[in-house]
């Protein structure tokens, strides 16, 4: 066996130990009480990189630190690849739904349970472990590598957006590699060549100046909760299509090639509905479940608030009602354009009996790279070799908005090589990471550099 792969096989136990250590930092970026834990996680990963001889800097920012680690003696004749990851994690709440505490790793049947194990600590640590195998066996890397590990991905990457244009020279690369996504199964590894974008907004309907007695006044004025429901109800038609004029204008249609590739991903309607916990799954007419959740835009109500929500009843006409919305976008939809189309449509639908306010939130562009280009094909081969099964092509429904910024500032394409399985529970209680995916991911990461370097030559 080649010495790099042999090293990975011989040291699997240490790699698991080291991931257990990493997930013990409660690096929750959404909660200010964890700032110290975020710094500690950044220092720990930086120290690991330094230990491998990587030139490592922990960049202070007004937010959480950004870690940059580059392989020593960078050779301008070799291609350079940037590996991106994030050491911050989602809030673990609700604690009572975790079988064991979220920051006390537990291993059960080849799964490591902990917040951040899959999203994203395990996945970028796998890349660093693969570099360890090169370094410790004295195997020269066929390329220069730069690791970029941030601490605000789960809250919008504010600092990294500032950092990127200022450090575009240090971060210059031939391609970006990200493992912060999933694969259909261990038997079906895949290269992700597209991501959805996102546009967030909040809708508020204001009615009377205060909650009113519904017996005394109800019937003589508009109920804001009702008005909001009717407004939202008009946004989707019988066929599951969004009715906002122009909503689909910029959507690049799926090619026959893409649809064929996607159809190779195993899917069973009944099992999928069971997995979701719904009596029957549904969505936009004319598309498969996998197409609907990865390649089609959606309009999702994330939360609805109005009136009295406490115990028992309270007979009122509420003063206001609000909804939190996120729209998932696909190439070539633009967040700003979609937001203004939605706002305009809502205004045209709103009755004169209430006041409507639409507040724009964060946005992120969708992403698409050619699945047939030389880099993508090289990545597919590395994926197949690492997992020991033929890799498929897929697109993902989730969003990694910084990927569009990599393209803009570094002019580099991103290859998404996920290691997370569909039942890993990212953002949910009992998040886990499969130790088999971890091991295969490390083998993939080791084989990736020769493949990509050849594709660049």
Give me the residues that bind ligand BES (CB under 6 A), please. 119, 153-154, 180-182, 195, 198, 364, 396, 398-401
Binding-site partner at residue 401 among Zn ion, ligand BES, none, CB < 5 to 8 Å by type: ligand BES
Binding-site partner at residue 447 among Zn ion, ligand BES, none, CB < 5 to 8 Å by type: none
Q: Name the minimum Å distance from CB 442 to ligand BES.
A: 19
**Which candidate, 38, 45, 36, places its Cα nearest to that of 18?**
45
Q: Name the minimum Å distance from CB 180 to ligand BES.
A: 4
CA distance 274 to 269: 9
Binding-site partner at residue 364 among ligand BES, Zn ion, none, CB < 5 to 8 Å by type: ligand BES
Phi, psi of 412 (to 5 degrees): -115, 145
The dihedral built from the CA positions of residue 100, 102, 104 and 105, taken in this order, carries a sign that is: positive
Q: Name the minimum Å distance from CB 118 to Zn ion.
A: 9
**Assigned token pair, 84:** 């991106």
Q: Name the minimum Å distance from CB 446 to ligand BES.
A: 22
CA distance 39 to 87: 10
Please state whether beta strands 144-150 and 66-70 pair in parallel, antiparallel, or not at all (unpaired).
Answer: antiparallel
**Assigned token pair, 11:** 């040291």
Q: Name the minimum Å distance from CB 68 to ligand BES.
A: 20
**Which candidate, 79, 76, 43, 37, places its Cα nearest to that of 58?**
43
**Which candidate, 139, 359, 330, 146, places its Cα nearest to that of 249?**
330
Residue nearest ligand BES by beta-carbon distance: 398
| CB of 80 or CB of 90, closer to Zn ion | 90
| CB of 183 or CB of 375, closer to ligand BES | 183
Binding-site partner at residue 181 among Zn ion, ligand BES, none, CB < 5 to 8 Å by type: ligand BES
| CB of 118 or CB of 227, closer to ligand BES | 118
Q: Name the minimum Å distance from CB 398 to Zn ion.
A: 8
| CB of 119 or CB of 258, closer to Zn ion | 119
User: CB–CB of 142/449 below 8 Å?
Assistant: yes
| CB of 364 or CB of 366, closer to ligand BES | 364
Binding-site partner at residue 291 among Zn ion, ligand BES, none, CB < 5 to 8 Å by type: none
Binding-site size for Zn ion (CB under 5 A) equals: 1
| CB of 198 or CB of 415, closer to ligand BES | 198
Binding-site partner at residue 424 among Zn ion, ligand BES, none, CB < 5 to 8 Å by type: none
Residue span 109-138 as binding mask against Zn ion, x where in contact by CB under 5 A, dash where not: ----------x-------------------
| CB of 154 or CB of 451, closer to ligand BES | 154
Q: Name the minimum Å distance from CB 396 to ligand BES.
A: 4
CA distance 298 to 301: 10
Please state whether beta strands 197-206 and 298-306 pair in parallel, antiparallel, or not at all (unpaired).
Answer: unpaired
| CB of 119 or CB of 150, closer to Zn ion | 119
**Which candidate, 271, 100, 102, 104, places its Cα nearest to that of 185?**
271
Among the residues of 52-186, which ranges form H helices? 122-136, 158-166
Q: Name the minimum Å distance from CB 358 to Zn ion.
A: 26
90-97 long-range contacts, CB within 8 A, separation 24+ = 90/28, 90/30, 90/115, 90/116, 90/119, 90/154, 90/426, 90/427, 91/28, 91/30, 91/31, 92/26, 92/28, 92/429, 94/429, 97/429, 97/430
List residues binding Zn ion (CB under 5 A): 119
């Amino acid at each position: 066996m080649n010495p790099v792969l042999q090293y990975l096989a011989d040291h699997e136990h240490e790699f698991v130990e080291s991931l257990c250590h990493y997930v013990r930092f409660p690096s929750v970026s959404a909660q200010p009480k964890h700032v110290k834990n975020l710094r500690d996680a950044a220092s720990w990963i930086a120290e690991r990189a330094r230990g491998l001889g990587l030139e490592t800097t922990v960049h202070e920012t007004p937010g959480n630190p950004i870690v940059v680690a580059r392989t020593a003696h960078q050779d301008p004749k070799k291609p350079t690849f940037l590996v991106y990851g994030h050491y911050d994690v989602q809030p673990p709440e609700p604690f009572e739904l975790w079988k064991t505490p979220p920051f006390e790793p537990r291993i059960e049947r080849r799964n490591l349970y902990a917040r951040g194990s899959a999203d994203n600590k395990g996945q970028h640590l796998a890349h660093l472990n693969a570099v360890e195998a090169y370094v410790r066996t004295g195997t020269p890397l066929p390329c220069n590598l730069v690791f970029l590990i941030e601490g605000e991905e789960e809250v919008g990457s504010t600092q990294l957006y500032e950092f990127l244009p200022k450090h575009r020279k240090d971060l210059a690369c031939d391609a970006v590699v990200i493992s912060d996504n999933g694969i259909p199964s261990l038997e079906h590894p895949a290269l992700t060549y597209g991501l959805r974008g996102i546009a967030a907004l909040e809708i508020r309907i204001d009615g009377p100046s205060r909650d009113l007695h519904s017996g005394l006044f109800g019937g003589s004025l508009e109920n804001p909760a009702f008005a909001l429901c009717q407004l939202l109800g008009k946004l989707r038609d019988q066929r599951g299509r969004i009715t906002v004029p122009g909503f689909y204008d910029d959507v690049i249609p799926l090619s026959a090639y893409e649809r064929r590739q996607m159809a190779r991903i195993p899917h069973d309607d009944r099992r999928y509905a069971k997995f979701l916990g719904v009596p029957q799954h549904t969505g936009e007419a004319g598309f498969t479940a996998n197409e609907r959740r990865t390649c089609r835009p959606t309009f999702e109500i994330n939360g609805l608030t109005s009136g009295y929500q406490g115990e028992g009843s309270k007979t009122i006409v509420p003063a206001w009602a609000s909804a939190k919305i996120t729209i998932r976008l696909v190439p070539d939809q633009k967040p700003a354009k979609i937001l203004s189309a939605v706002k305009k449509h809502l205004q045209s639908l709103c009755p004169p009996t209430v006041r409507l306010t639409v507040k724009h939130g964060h946005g992120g562009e969708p992403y698409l790279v050619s699945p047939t280009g030389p880099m993508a094909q090289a990545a597919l081969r590395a994926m197949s070799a690492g997992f020991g099964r033929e890799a498929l092509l897929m697109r993902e429904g989730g969003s990694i908005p910084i990927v569009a910024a990599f393209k803009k500032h570094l002019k580099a394409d991103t290859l998404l090589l996920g290691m997370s399985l569909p039942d890993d529970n990212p953002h949910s209680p009992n998040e886990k990471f499969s130790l088999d995916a971890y091991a295969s991911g490390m083998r993939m990461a080791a084989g990736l550099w020769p493949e990509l370097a050849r594709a660049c030559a």
